[in-house]
Every structure is written in C-alpha cells, then in structure tokens.
Chain A
Amino acid sequence: MIEINNVSKWYGEFQVLTDCTTKVQKGEVVVVCGPSGSGKSTLIKCVNGLEPFQAGTITVEGTSVGDPKTNLPKLRSKVGMVFQNFELFPHLSITENLCLAQEKVLGRGHEESMEKGLKLLDRVGLKAQAQKFPGQLSGGQQQRVAIARALAMDPIAMLFDEPTSALDPEMVNEVLDVMVQLAKEGMTMMCVTHEMGFARKVANRVIFMDRGAIVEDAAKEDFFGQPRSERAQTFLSKILHH
C-alpha cells in the first residue's frame, strides 16, 4: 500500500535521508525506531507529502506523492496522521475538531460528521468530553481525540509520529491501548515510536534507522531475536535495559 523507493532528502547541503527503501502492505503494522535525529519523523512526513524529498519515489495506493500533478490534499485525506504534540485546534471544541475536515474536505453534512465523530469519541473512551476544548483535556486525552479525529476521515492507513513521546508516563498506556486495538482491527499503520512493548505486541515489521538511512528492516521476531546490525543492537540494549 505504501511503497518508499530510494528516497533521499537534503536540507541545503545536509543530507537527512539517504536512499531509503521499504514498503508497508495492507493491514501491516510497521514500527520505525532509531536514535533521535536519525530521520524517522522526516521519513514518515514524506509519506503524506508534509516534507518534500529530492530523490526517489513514494507511492500510496499507486499515487505518487512526489509528483507535482498529484492532488496532495486528496491523498492526505485518505492517510490519517497523529503527531507528537497532538495538534488539536485549540480554538475549536472537541466535536468541532472532529467535524472540521469531514465537512470541509469530504463534504459530509454536519449531522453525519457529528454522528461519526461522537461514535469514534466513544470508541476512544471520551464521549463525556465532547463539549470541552482541547486545553481542558490531559495530554493522553488530547492524543486519543487526535486519533479519533484522524479516524473520522475513514483513512486507508495511519501514520503515527512519536504519538507518546510528549506524554506523561502514566498516560502512555491509554494511548497505546487505542493503537493496539486499531492494529488488531487490521488498520495499516506506520508508527515512529520508541515503545518497544507496543512493537513486540502488534508490529509485523520493525525498521531501524540511523543517520538518515534504513539500517535494518526485519520481521519483528528477527529484529528482537537477533538484530543484524551492531548499531541496532547497541540501540536496543540501551532502551531495553531501563
């Protein structure tokens, strides 16, 4: 469903992505990990064209992301994205956050959007908060709303960019639970995360990145069993021993 072929990206002289190639099949959950500054977030933002790239191709269900003729808003409306800092719109209530893109992008009526939004809000366990504003919710609650907001668009795949990194420790699990449930329902997911417990539980494959390159791209069992690269072994030993 998502195919990334030989993607390279530069900020001026500095190369942030080097020749990245991988793919995500329909229904697959792929976890992208690696030390900070390794280009994981940049790579995932290339998938829906939030970051431009200078070489290589990315296709989502056959549509080329880098092609200037591609209708990017249309493509993005089919790919949900969840951000590290939630990025709910603070001036809109929770229901308005859930309805905005359904109405303005998909052209759904207000009642239909509301119904859909409230159903998803219920699913992430926050129906009681519908009338509140983002600033009145905890970080974990905000991130669950953000997931519901992305799901309201009926996406064919979901991108997660470090969804739990900005959360207080006690709120990490409520967000991971929603993500695990989503994975079990067969959602195609690409997740940048350091949550190895999540990876062990639901990932099909794990990609390890370092200095802008994909160093390792392996089935979960192989990755946790015997990572081939020394860099990945060091990384794992550092984050698993704490």
Chain B
Amino acid sequence: MTSLHLDWGILFEESPTGDGPYWQLLLTGLKWTLATAMSGWLIAVAVGAVVGVIRTVPSRWLSLLGDAYVEVFRNIPFLVQLFFWFFVLPELLPEAAGSWMKQSMPRPEFFTAAVGLGLFTAARVAEQVKSGIQSLPRGQRNAGLAMGLTLTQTYRYVILPMAFRIVIPPLTSEFMNTFKNSAVALAIGLTELTFQMKQMVEYSNQVIITILATTVLYMVLAMAVNRLMAWIEHKSRVPGLIAGGGK
C-alpha cells in the first residue's frame, strides 16, 4: 500500500485553461455557483410564494392551476427540465424568439440554469408555503376578514407573516438545495464549481485534492446559508411564542 501523499501546492500551479492558477479556476466556479443559486432562489421564493398562496384561496380554478404547477415541476428530474429549457424550448418558440435564444441571448447557460433552477425549486417552496398557511388556525383568516380586510389584505398582513415564519426551517433546506442542485447545470455547460472541479481533475490528475477542495467550498456555502437563515429566524421571532426559534 502506498501512503497518501497530498500535494496542496497544485492549487497554485497555472492551469492550462488560461484561467490562471487552479485555485482561481475553482473560484470562478464558485462565483457561478453562487450567482446561479442566488438568482434561482430569488425566483423560487417569488414564484413559490405565489403558487403556494393560490393553492389555498377559495377559487377552484386557481388552486388547480397551482396544483398543476407543483405536479409538473416536482415530478420531472431537474436535469430533464434543464435540457428542456436549453434544447427544446428554443425549437418550440416562434422563429425569431427561438433563434434569439440560440444565437444572441447573453450567457445562455447561466440564464437557463438560474431560471430553470428557480422554477424547479419554486414547486418545492410552494409546497412549504401552502403547508405553512394551512397550519395556521382557520380562525385567523376569519378574524382578518371579519374586520373588513379584503382577502388580499388578510394574506398580506395576517396569514403570510406567520406562515413564512413557520416555514423558515424547511425553507432553509430548500435554499441549501439550490446550491447543491446548481451542480446539475454542468450538463448544459455552465462553468460552475462542479464543472471546474471536473476540469481540474482532467488537467491536474490530482483527484483527491481537487475533490477535497471542492467539498470544502460547498460546505462553506451551505454553512453560510444555514447561518443566514438562522439569523433571519431569530430576527423574526415572535415574542411570547415558542415556535420560531425561541430561547
């Protein structure tokens, strides 16, 4: 058995890709992972909140629409969804829009990955938001309506502020998932962290160091997200309630 010899110096060697030293190669990947996951998350929260809410309103038509969204986006593998947006959508669109997507859209891998990730994660956020709303006592909605608030105002001022507090813990895992799932975008050529990791493995032959370094970077990201969400949970804690990160 050979003893494990790790040469961390490899990180400072020049990579043949023209990106500078290997550590910089990984850093570029980190940057794209961060950009994709963060934009995806913003889209996911915005779309997911809307879809989650319409699944709870007293309109059959709207809740069916919301249910359909969740079914479609939750039941198809994310990789397949990405391929659909990247390769199929341009063919289905009208000629002009399709060729714009294929030829002139800036950074097509990034935008496709961010939007695709956002729409995929939105289905999961919607599920959390819906269950958060449904976990509130029904009397809260009645109390808002009974005072003369419209249904929209009741959601805005009464239901959603509590529902979001309740779902912070499950949303934390969804937020962390956007970082992990963004690695799938390597399949459409986005130079995110996992893509760069593969490149470095190929050029440097230092499999162990490369994967260890990448692992550390992903873990740092996940821990940062976790801390951020814990901070939000603490800040939004309601005095007198146990739920929401009490002492």
Q: How far is the CA of A45 from the CA of B146 in the complex (A)?
A: 9
* Interchain CB contact under 8 A, B161 and A91: yes
* Interchain CB contact under 8 A, B147 and A76: yes
Interface positions of B from 141 to 185, Cβ below 8 Å from A: 142-150, 153, 157-158, 161-162, 165
The verdict on B241 contacting chain A, using a C-beta distance below 8 Å, is: yes
* Interchain CB contact under 8 A, A50 and B239: no
* Interchain CB contact under 8 A, A50 and B162: no
| Nearest CB on A from B102, distance (A) | 48
| List of B residues within 8 angstroms of A85 by Cβ | 137, 139
The verdict on B17 contacting chain A, using a C-beta distance below 8 Å, is: no
Partner of A135, one of B143, B144, B146, B239: B239
The segment from A100-108, A109-117, A204-212 that touches chain B is: A100-108
| Nearest CB on A from B28, distance (A) | 42
Partner of B241, one of A74, A90, A106, A149: A90
Interface positions of A from 132 to 146, Cβ below 8 Å from B: 132-137
* Interchain CB contact under 8 A, A87 and B238: no
* Interchain CB contact under 8 A, A76 and B165: no
The verdict on A89 contacting chain B, using a C-beta distance below 8 Å, is: yes
Q: How far is the CA of A81 from the CA of B146 in the complex (A)?
A: 6
* Interchain CB contact under 8 A, B162 and A91: yes
| Nearest CB on A from B158, distance (A) | 5
Q: How far is the CA of A91 from the CA of B146 in the complex (A)?
A: 18
Chain A minimum-CB-distance residue to B239: A133
The verdict on B9 contacting chain A, using a C-beta distance below 8 Å, is: no
| List of B residues within 8 angstroms of A153 by Cβ | 147-148
Q: Is the interface of B mostly helix, strand, loop or mixed?
A: helix
Partner of B240, one of A78, A81, A133: A133
Q: How far is the CA of A149 from the CA of B148 in the complex (A)?
A: 12
| Nearest CB on B from A108, distance (A) | 12
* Interchain CB contact under 8 A, B241 and A135: yes
Q: How far is the CA of A77 from the CA of B147 in the complex (A)?
A: 5
The verdict on A190 contacting chain B, using a C-beta distance below 8 Å, is: no
| Nearest CB on A from B12, distance (A) | 51
The verdict on B99 contacting chain A, using a C-beta distance below 8 Å, is: no
Interface positions of A from 64 to 100, Cβ below 8 Å from B: 72-74, 76-81, 83-85, 87-91, 100
The verdict on B140 contacting chain A, using a C-beta distance below 8 Å, is: yes
Partner of B147, one of A133, A135, A137, A150: A150
Interface positions of B from 165 to 219, Cβ below 8 Å from A: 165
* Interchain CB contact under 8 A, B162 and A105: no
Task: Point out which of B137, B162, B240 has the most chain A C-beta atoms below 10 A from its C-beta.
Answer: B240
The verdict on A48 contacting chain B, using a C-beta distance below 8 Å, is: yes
* Interchain CB contact under 8 A, B149 and A87: no
| List of B residues within 8 angstroms of A74 by Cβ | 148
* Interchain CB contact under 8 A, A132 and B143: no
Q: How far is the CA of A85 from the CA of B239 in the complex (A)?
A: 19
A76-B148, A105-B148 known; A83+B139 contact, CB < 8 A: yes
* Interchain CB contact under 8 A, B240 and A100: no
Partner of A105, one of B140, B149, B158, B165: B149
| Nearest CB on A from B243, distance (A) | 9
Q: How far is the CA of A84 from the CA of B153 in the complex (A)?
A: 23
* Interchain CB contact under 8 A, A73 and B150: yes
* Interchain CB contact under 8 A, A132 and B239: yes
* Interchain CB contact under 8 A, B147 and A89: no
Q: How far is the CA of A73 from the CA of B151 in the complex (A)?
A: 9
* Interchain CB contact under 8 A, A83 and B147: no
* Interchain CB contact under 8 A, A73 and B238: no
Q: How far is the CA of A161 from the CA of B148 in the complex (A)?
A: 17
A87-B140, A133-B239 known; A50+B147 contact, CB < 8 A: no
Interface contacts beyond A50-B145, A134-B240: sample of 7 additional A-B pairs, CB < 8 Å, sorted by A: A77-B147, A81-B143, A89-B158, A105-B147, A105-B148, A106-B148, A135-B241
12 interchain pairs, CB-CB under 8 A: A45-B142, A72-B145, A73-B150, A81-B142, A83-B143, A85-B139, A87-B140, A89-B140, A89-B144, A101-B148, A105-B148, A133-B239
